[in-house]
Amino acid sequence: MVNKDLRWEILKKIQNPESKFQINEIINILLENRGLKTKSQKEEFFNPIHPGKITVKSLNLDQKQLDKAIKRVKNAIKNKEQIIIYGDYDADGICATAVLWECLYSLTKNVIPYIPNRFDEGYGANAGSIGNLKSQFPNFKLLITVDNGIVANDAVDKANKLGIDVIITDHHQKGKKLPKAYSIIHTDKISGAGVAWILAREIIKKIPNPKSQILIGNSLELAAMGTIADQLPLLGPNRSFAKYGLEALNYTGRPGLLALYEEAGLRNLQGRTLQGAKIGTYEVNFIIAPRINAMGRMEHAIDSLRLLCTKNSQKARELANFLGRTNRERQRVVDEVVLHARKMAQKNEWSGAIVLAHESYHEGVIGLAASKLVEEFYRPAIVLSKGKKISKASARSISGFNIIESIRKLDSITLGGGGHPMAAGFSIETGKIEIFAKKFEEITSPLLTDDVLTKKLKVDTEVEFKNLNVELEAEISKFEPTGIGNPTPVFITKNVSVVDARTVGAEGKHLKLTLEKDDKIFNAIAFGKGEIAPLLSPNKKVGIAYNLSLDTWNGNKSLQLKVKDLKLS
């Protein structure tokens, strides 16, 4: 469909877009749109520093806290204390757990990875779980959190009472009061897996071990997966993790990943690509991470951790198939929840954020359901899985609205939670859902102005067809890996003539176009826009927003436009 309400927000307006531009002029516009203005910033972007050389200071990590943590780890190893790594059940948390466990396990066998059960324990370090672990392991004296812990005040207090020192490693937003932990290693600049990787790197510097050094290099692929899956801006240190980690993912020897690639149809077990599949940000975001996340949503995330850490190829294949089956079940359940939630949402005229609760909503997929509602209604959404006494909530937001800030204004009603400006989660007494919904609407309604609620497509600049060529696409390909903070460049061209328009794909969902302007013709594809084909008669004038892509059919290279939006003139 034509996105009538999609506003094109041009980041860099050019006085005379019809002019002929040099490739480097267009590239400089793209760099400046990403906040890269100085020569050194641009050089670092195209030549990111290896994560092994990223300084602690540049990440805003506290060196004293880091040194204190490493000293405590050394003592735990020396005294043969039981160390437990307390992770999280999403892809970032699972990868973070794997990174630190592999590092510490190469130094001591007295280390156990622990992933909480979403349904019984909830998110983050849990006081009850820590008590249970102490009962199981009397020599448990050091707890290290990864991708959680920065708001786990009660859990840390419980650990302290039991004589357990707590090292927190996290990247989530801090609460009003920090936990009384032995050491806090926190930064919001990188992912949970990134923080875990930096800690592992620093541990190996202080406790040299040849095997550990190799593991740190091998675990870079896990840090990249966590970074990409957790939707971190792919600039600065995150670009470093993504770039070098994706290279590692493409050449991995990790049995679990090779088995997962095969199950997902990306590669066979020998690592050969199927259908030319390269592992990039798309493959991580939409193929690999959903399978890893599915376990925490539907079953127990410990199986995803086992997949990443196993050395046994047969076990890896069994686990990969289990993840694949669970992911398909997850998709089915999401569809059911979204269908019901959509009907409920359509009954209301929302002035603030959408807040929906129902006992049939599967707790493991409410975040995905909230994302689908945001996509459809373009306003923040909170979806709650109603329990008899306690309900679980997952929130998703839109650009320009910090949802965790608004949720924290109602801390007196909720039972605690955490998150980011764009995504959050919390628990609440079921009897308080209605009052929460009412007050949340009062808080969010004045903040959700018409401007905030207008969906925008950020466009890098306006160009003419005469400026487009294979050489420009080659330079733009150097912007990879693309993602949050560094999106694939988007251009617009106005007054383009339609030469031909036809539907392609299953049920004619997609649109294949031939477009012309100033005697220059390009083929284009518009995914999901097949229904507007009847409106595009020959010589019809349109404006298009698009990415550039390279078509290498039959060995010939030609430029193809991937149309993101189309406006009829």
Does the structure show a pLDDT above 50 at 2?
A: no
Q: What is the pLDDT of residues 65-93, one digit of tens each?
A: 999 999 999 999 999 999 999 999 999 99
The model's confidence at residue 145, banded by pLDDT at 50, 70 and 90, is very high
The model's confidence at residue 217, banded by pLDDT at 50, 70 and 90, is confident
Task: Calculate mean pLDDT across residues 161-170.
Answer: 99
Q: What is the pLDDT of residues 316-339, one digit of tens each?
A: 999 999 999 999 999 999 999 999
The model's confidence at residue 1, banded by pLDDT at 50, 70 and 90, is very low
Task: Calculate mean pLDDT across residues 261-271.
Answer: 79
Q: What is the pLDDT of residues 467-503, one digit of tens each?
A: 999 999 999 999 999 999 999 999 999 999 999 999 9
- CA gap 246, 244 in Å, rounded: 5
* pLDDT at residue 128, as a whole number: 96
What's the predicted TM-score (pTM) here? 0.90
pLDDT > 70: percent of the chain = 97
Mean pLDDT, the chain, as a whole number?
93
Domains of the chain listed by start with CATH number: 7-44+456-568 (2.40.50.460), 51-217 (3.90.1640.30), 348-444 (3.10.310.30)
* pLDDT at residue 154, as a whole number: 95
Does the structure show a pLDDT above 90 at 210?
A: no
* pLDDT at residue 272, as a whole number: 56
- CA gap 344, 22 in Å, rounded: 53
Does the structure show a pLDDT above 60 at 281?
A: yes
Q: What is the pLDDT of residues 527-564, one digit of tens each?
A: 999 999 999 999 999 999 999 999 877 778 899 999 99
Report the DSSP pairing between strands 491-504 and 461-462.
Answer: parallel
Task: Calculate mean pLDDT across residues 231-257.
Answer: 96
Does the structure show a pLDDT above 60 at 54?
A: yes
At 425, is the secondary structure helix, strand, or coil? Answer: strand
* pLDDT at residue 333, as a whole number: 95
Write the CB contacts of 242 (distance below 8 Å, at least 6 apart in sequence). 224, 227, 228, 234, 281, 481, 483
Does the structure show a pLDDT above 70 at 186?
A: yes
Read off the tokens for 43: 């050089």
Does the structure show a pLDDT above 70 at 4?
A: no
Task: Calculate mean pLDDT across residues 165-169.
Answer: 99
- Residue 59's alpha-carbon distances to 169, 188, 198, in angstroms, are 13, 8, 10
The residue count of the chain comes to: 569
The single-letter DSSP state of residue 356 is E
* pLDDT at residue 267, as a whole number: 73
Write the CB contacts of 566 (distance below 8 Å, at least 6 apart in sequence). 2, 526, 529, 532, 542, 543, 544, 545
* pLDDT at residue 554, as a whole number: 72
Q: What is the pLDDT of residues 366-410, one digit of tens each?
A: 999 999 999 999 999 999 999 999 999 999 999 999 999 999 999
- CA gap 235, 240 in Å, rounded: 8
The model's confidence at residue 277, banded by pLDDT at 50, 70 and 90, is low
